[in-house]
Amino acid sequence: MVSLNTTQLEGLIGMLFVLGILALLVLPSVFGIVRDRRIDRQLREAEQGPANERGPSENQKSSSRSTVPSTATWYAEGRRSKKLVSS
């Protein structure tokens, strides 16, 4: 078994500490790169279109609810009309 003296032990602890900080700094970047590559892959797949180009399948049901504009759409329409009137 190898016996470490105090100086070697302090050096080992310091090196592990620096490596730990380096890992904490690098990991967010690695996660971001992985996420960007996943999004790029999804965008490429979406550009190619669905594999089945015949349209919706017969098993797929449409929603029975009526489509009502959201509050954000209503607000934006109101703002646009006010802008047109004031100019």
DSSP 28-45: HHHHHHHHHHHHHHHHHH
Looking at per-residue pLDDT, the higher value among 46 and 83 belongs to 46
Radius of gyration of the chain measured on its C-alpha atoms: 29
Half-sphere CA count of 1, side-chain side, radius 13 A: 3
For the chain, what is the mean pLDDT?
79
Looking at per-residue pLDDT, the higher value among 26 and 53 belongs to 26
Task: Check: pTM over 0.75? Answer yes or no.
Answer: no
Cβ contact 4:12 at 8 Å: yes
